[in-house]
Amino acid sequence: MEIYQISFILFQTFMIPVIFFSLIFYFVSIGSLFIKNPKFRFKLKKFKWPFVTIQIPVYNDPVAARCIETCMKLDYPKNRYEVIVADDSTDEKTREILDKYAKKYPIKLIRRGNRKGFKAGALNNALKYSKGEIVTVFDADFVPPKNFLKEVVKPFLVDERIAIVQTRMGFLNYDQNIITRFAASLLAAYHHCWLPLFNKVNSVFFCGTHGAIRRSVLEEVGGWNEENLTEDADLSVKILDKGYKNIYLSDMKVPGEVPFTLSGFIKQQSRWVYGQTQTFMGNWKRILFSKTLKLSQKLSIFFVTFGGITAPFVIGMTFFGQVALFTAPPKPVGFIDMLNFVKNFIITMGFLFMIWVAVFLKKGVISTKKMKVWKLMLSSIPLGLYLAFFNMIAFFKGIFGVPMIWHLTPKWGSISILEKFKSLFYWR
């Protein structure tokens, strides 16, 4: 067989699963348009606000100062919550800024002598110093609204089986550059299309930040898994398998940052794919054969934890499609050829449709005036392929247990914080 024939056969072979996943994206996107945001009404007249611990894990992120300031201004009763900053920083400037805030505000600043377990290890260590019956986690770059704690705590008061309350992510720097727009669009698709569906079938995953967990349940499942780079996904699976409820508050938006450099974006996405694949490999018996989980939950969990498998098929289809294109016998391009191209493009671009639904129909960013549809869509194709290549590598590393290094994602807000406190470092 000629190279063209082989590559064309392989192109069609890889395209079959891509079409399958693309149709899922179309189905979820359209379905999300008919899923109303859940309304949680609370008719509690007499109750006592539970004590809440806010944990802020930090690693060389001066922007944590902004998060601390915001947390100190929450409208929750001041004697009913505490703020613990779990600082693993090796950067002296970050440590000095946090030391200054520990003197300014009544926060607990804890440090350990190592970075064992990375974020999961820092959170487990912080739990030893926590008094709250509800634990809330904020990554350093998040800025919670004033009413966050009151709204996120109410579901726990109504139903003792609720273990996790996850809120929706907003974007502080979505319009910074093409990378932030694409990164924000992907997250908007997850929060506006996937999570409402997961909420319907009780398969909501904790996102690792801007959410709350019932402490007793967290301890019941053994705390955070320090061997997993996405400890939040691992925790979510174990909690769901215990029969608890995880809910999603789509009306509560908590702004945070997305990566603003290509390197930071790729490393963050690769870490998520690797960690989610780790989660499946470590919990596959629980996911596939649990007697507690319903079929809808198993399918949802499987798609989240093993979703990285889409990347190899996308790369294979693209590669062999290009080979077939350039090795095809020369002939005039006819109407049927153009029609087939359009047909293949439409049936394999479900992820683009989901971005369009999330960003423009469901208004998944602050404003879309500056973000033209055609610019976002055109940039999503090359960026998506570039991302798929590295996600493919991360997926196979997760499958075969190849170690992956944890990388810090640079925060744009850290630059302004360092500028604000530059007088601290005049002697350097």
> How many angstroms from the chain centroid is the CA of residue 8?
36
Q: Are 76 and 147 in contact (CB under 8 A)?
A: no
Residue 232 designated active-site: yes
Parallel, antiparallel or unpaired: strands 162-171 and 211-214:
antiparallel
Q: How many CB atoms lie within 10 A of CB 42?
A: 11
As given in the structure block, the two tokens for residue 64 are 């944590």
Q: Give first-to-last CA distance, the chain, whole Å.
A: 68
Q: Can you give the length of the chain in residues?
A: 428
Catalytic residue among 61, 139, 232, 241: 232
Task: Provide DSSP, 63-131.
Answer: THHHHHHHHTT-SS-GGGEEEEEEE----HHHHHHHHHHHHHSS-EEEE-S--TTHHHHHHHHHHTT--
Catalytic residue among 88, 141, 234, 241: 88
Report long-range pairs for 296-303 (Cβ below 8 Å, ≥24 apart). Answer: 296/201, 296/203, 297/201, 297/202, 297/203, 297/240, 300/197, 300/198, 300/201, 300/203, 301/203, 301/237, 301/240, 303/24
Phi-psi region of 236 (alpha: psi -120 to 50; beta: other; left: phi over 0): alpha
Question: Residue 81 pairs with which residues in a beta bridge?
Answer: 52
Q: Are 193 and 185 in contact (CB under 8 A)?
A: no
Dihedral, CA of residue 284, residue 289, residue 290 and residue 293, to nearest 10: 100
Q: Are 41 and 47 in contact (CB under 8 A)?
A: no
Q: Are 118 and 128 in contact (CB under 8 A)?
A: no
* C-alpha–C-alpha distance, residues 313 and 58, integer Å: 36
Question: Residue 171 pairs with which residues in a beta bridge?
Answer: 256
DSSP 3-state of 186: helix
Position 310: which residue type? T
DSSP 3-state of 247: strand
The residues annotated with a catalytic role in the active site are 88, 232
